[in-house]
A and B are shown apart, each in its own frame.
Chain A
Amino acid sequence: MLEIQAITQVFGGLTALCDVSFTIRQGDITGVIGPNGAGKTTLFNIISGIYRQTSGRILLQGKDISGLPPERLAQLGIVRTFQNIELFGQMSVLDNVKVGLHTKSHSGLFSCSFKLPWHLVEERRITESARRWLEFCGIADLADQRADSLPFGKGRLLEIARALASEPKIIFMDEPAAGLNSRETQDLASLIRKIREAGITVVLVEHDMELVMDVCDRILVLSLGEKLAEGTPREIQENTSVIAAYLGEG
Chain B
Amino acid sequence: MKRELLKFLILAIVVAILPALLSGSYLVNVLIFVGIHTMLAVALNLLLGFAGQISLGHAGFFGLGAYASAILTTTYGINPWLAMVAAAVAVSLLAFAIGFPILKLKGHYLAMATLGLGIIFFIIFNEAVDLTGGPSGFSGIPNLKIGSITFDNDLKNYALIWLFTLVTVLLSLNLANSRIGRALRAIHDSEVAARVMGVNSRLLKVQIFALSAGISTLAGSLYAHTMGFISPTSFGFNFSIELITMVIIGGLGSIYGSLIGAFILTILPEALRTFQDYDIIIYGLILILMTMFLPGGLVRGVPGLLARLRPAGRQEG
Residues of A within 8 A of B188 (CB): 88, 90
B34 at the interface (CB under 8 A from A): no
The answer to whether A112 and B175 touch across the interface, beta carbons within 8 angstroms, is yes
Give which listed residue, B189, B195, B253, contacts A87 with CB less than 8 A.
B189
- What DSSP secondary structure best describes chain B's contact surface? helix
What's the tally of chain B residues with a CB closer than 8 Å to chain A? 29
B159 at the interface (CB under 8 A from A): no
Give which listed residue, A75, A89, A108, contacts B180 with CB less than 8 A.
A108
Per-residue CB contact flags for chain B residues 180-205 toward chain A (1 = under 8 Å, else 0) read: 11110110111011111111110000
B: which residues have CB within 8 A of A?
Answer: 171-172, 174-175, 178-183, 185-186, 188-190, 192-201, 207-208, 211, 253
Per-residue CB contact flags for chain A residues 62-89 toward chain B (1 = under 8 Å, else 0) read: 0000000111011100011010001111
The 3 closest A-B pairs by CB, nearest first: A74-B198, A112-B178, A103-B198
A: which residues have CB within 8 A of B?
Answer: 48, 50, 69-71, 73-75, 79-80, 82, 86-91, 95, 98-103, 105, 107-109, 112-115, 119, 122-123, 126, 162-163, 166
Give which listed residue, A71, A89, A114, A163, contacts B189 with CB less than 8 A.
A89
The answer to whether B193 and A113 touch across the interface, beta carbons within 8 angstroms, is no
The answer to whether A91 and B178 touch across the interface, beta carbons within 8 angstroms, is no
Inter-chain CA distance A201–B179, complex, in Å, is 27
Kindly name the residue among A82, A115, A166 whose own CB sees the greatest number of chain B CB atoms within 10 A. Answer: A115
Inter-chain CA distance A123–B176, complex, in Å, is 13
Residues of B within 8 A of A79 (CB): 196-197
The answer to whether B190 and A80 touch across the interface, beta carbons within 8 angstroms, is no
Give which listed residue, A50, A100, A107, A114, contacts B197 with CB less than 8 A.
A100
Could you list some 12 contacts between A and B, CB below 8 A?
A82-B193, A88-B193, A91-B182, A99-B183, A100-B197, A102-B183, A105-B179, A107-B178, A113-B175, A163-B197, A166-B197, A166-B198
